[in-house]
Chains A and B, each alone.
Chain A
Amino acid sequence: MAGACDMIRTLIADDEPPARDKLVRWLGEQPDLELVSIARDGISAAEAIAALSPQLAFLDIQMPGLSGLEIAAQLEAATAPLLVFVTAFDEYAVKAFELDAVDYLLKPYDRQRLDKCLARVRARFGDGAARSAAVRAARTQVQDCRRLLVPVGEQLQLIDVDAIEWLEADDNYVHVHAAGANYLLRRTLADLLVQLGEQRFVRIHKSAAVNLAQIQSLSPLFKGDYELLLRDGQRLRLSRRYREALFARMGR
């Protein structure tokens, strides 16, 4: 296991067996890559990334369940693996990644092209900016995030963003309160808010944000604070520091 620490832990995700085989064959030949997971669809790829935290992921863009871009958009920018998108189409995505992502492979690609990609991966390996850039690029592609990937036991599940009532920060974790359930995400609130979009969610104090559509009423408290009543009966405090921003958003 001596050398294993230096190996780049790599994940492959593609729903088409021949496409998967090709990557497995060629990446398997690389002395410094260790294939830790080979996923056949988007959800299992996201689960494998959460469970195994690979350092490098080759994501096919069109996959059932969750697309490669959607997977990337759900990752925490700071801890995401290096991402290489593999796709046969979608010129827009490709344009975005020309600027930001570590690399993308256009199907069909040859050995030479893959070697070039791997050279780029190795060069950028210690570079954290490359990871967050790929996640950012994916988020601009997956506009209007409608579903959020949350852990349920060992597995991941997609929940409707509209069903989320409020978000509660807890150190580097976020409690997602949705439809009576509580999911714990290993993300920062700031990063999650960027992903969910500021149209729908707004901060009410330093460590909480609320879904605007879930607010039922507001009543003033002392010193400019307000009490928020959500549709499900939950009461939350709106700190005066965030008051103006919320009122502006609600059209007052």
Chain B
Amino acid sequence: MSRAVAPGRADARAVYALWAVFWGFMTVVEIQDHFYNPYVRWWEPWLWQASSALPTTVWLILQLRVDRYSQFLDRPLQWVLQHLKWLPLIAVTCISFMYLVRHGAYALVGRSYNHEPWPFVLTYETVRVALFASLWLGILFAFRSFEQWSLERQRLAQLQRTLAEAQLTQLKSQLRPHFLFNALNTISSLMHSDVARADHLLAQLSELLRSTLRLGDQQLITLQEELQVLRLYAQIMTERFSDRVQLDWQIAADTESAQVPALLLQPLLENAFKYGVEPSRVPVRIEIVAQRLEDCLQLRVRNTGTIQPRGGGGVGLRNGQERLRLLFGESACLELRQNQEWVDAQVMLPWRVPAT
């Protein structure tokens, strides 16, 4: 919401300016209308206009400040109806205010405000308020739609930026000499003891690099696709740290077709190795869990150990959190916390399956 203020406020100024021009024009017309009428004093048109402008301005400010119907913007009729349901209240308030002020002001200068009989006034003013409100609702609708559109465009740009960032981080981490050359050294060592395994590992390393190089701009992929790349990485790392890591995959069968943001889990597993396994002198267990919890998909990457103070944040975690926020708003989260002897990275996503 706070991010929406910046573009929204600039546009609201345009609406207020339009409003000022509109009332200026109305006042000029009113004054000119009675200019040569000897029975009308100079201040009367001003009073009439001001007493109408004041309550309607309050209405406009309320409209601009309180934005409750943006979710109906893609259904214009609904949007208008939602606003119109307030019309009786607005009409009653505005008309009462107008006539109260006018009667009061005339009484103060010792005159009486003469107008048509009440039934006529009420009907006439109600129609006028309705017409007036419809005109301005049209303008507000255009304004709100523009605001929504620019927000959407901004969100999309952010989303693409975070995906690009995630891809870059991925690429960097796989071309990081520490990962790449240690992986190659593992293969170099295996070649002398187990040629088939060395060959297999070489193919996996190539597949991992290839999958990173052909990353598309798809935001959401299936969990199965995400896990494929994750498994390649995991096998290379397990080979390197074979004597002190044990990996456990607990993937519920029905979750494989669920949609997840691309490259969400990779950095979490990388962190588990980087901050969990690599600095540890004792064996470490890593669990990768995926399960459906009612309308949510729960993903966890957890390792035994304690959260390292400097490893708590990290680019991967922050990027993941930002992408989840952009993709799912408040309905998704990514948290890293200490859970007894586990360092637990937990993702909750709305359950989504691609349309077939």
Contact = CB atoms under 8 A, between A and B. Distances in A.
Interface of A: 15-19, 21-22, 25, 40-41, 43, 62, 64-65, 88-89, 106-110
Nearest to B184: A108
What 10 A-B pairs have minimum CB-CB distances, sorted nearest first? A88-B181, A22-B189, A107-B185, A18-B189, A108-B188, A108-B185, A89-B177, A18-B186, A89-B178, A108-B184
B241 A16 contact: yes
A16 B186 CA distance: 8
A21 B177 contact: no
B178 A17 contact: no
Contacts of B239: 18
A62 B189 contact: no
Given A43-B281, A65-B281, A108-B184, A18 B178 contact: no
Interface string B237-281: 001111110000000000000000000000000000000001111
Give the secondary structure class of A's interface. Answer: loop
Contacts of A43: 281
A88 B182 CA distance: 6
B278 A21 contact: no
Contact of A62 (B178, B184, B188, B192): B178
B192 A25 contact: yes
A22 B184 CA distance: 12
Contacts of A107: 181-182, 184-185, 188
A201 to B, nearest CB: 26
Contacts of A17: 240-243
Contacts of B244: 15
B236 to A, nearest CB: 11
Q: Bin chain B's interface residue count.
A: 20 to 34
A146 to B, nearest CB: 14
A112 to B, nearest CB: 13
A21 B193 CA distance: 9
B189 A89 contact: no
Most buried by A among B180, B182, B240, B243: B182
Most buried by B among A65, A89, A106: A89
Given A17-B242, A17-B243, A40-B243, A22 B185 contact: yes
B110 to A, nearest CB: 85
15 contacts: A15-B278, A16-B182, A17-B242, A18-B189, A19-B189, A22-B188, A40-B281, A62-B178, A64-B279, A64-B281, A88-B177, A107-B182, A108-B184, A108-B188, A110-B188
B53 interface: no
B181 A64 contact: no
Interface string B201-240: 0000000000000000000000000000000000000011
B200 to A, nearest CB: 14
Contact of A64 (B180, B190, B242, B280): B280
Contacts of A106: 181
Given A64-B279, A64-B280, A64-B281, A89 B185 contact: no
Interface string B270-300: 0000000011110000000000000000000
Given A25-B192, A88-B177, A19 B182 contact: yes
A88 B193 CA distance: 21
A89 B278 contact: no
Nearest to A23: B189
A16 to B, nearest CB: 5
Contacts of B279: 64-65
Contacts of B192: 22, 25
A18 B185 contact: yes
Contacts of A22: 185, 188-189, 192
A25 B244 CA distance: 21
Contacts of B188: 22, 107-110
B176 interface: yes
A179 to B, nearest CB: 22
B187 interface: yes
Most buried by B among A17, A22, A65, A107: A107
B192 to A, nearest CB: 6
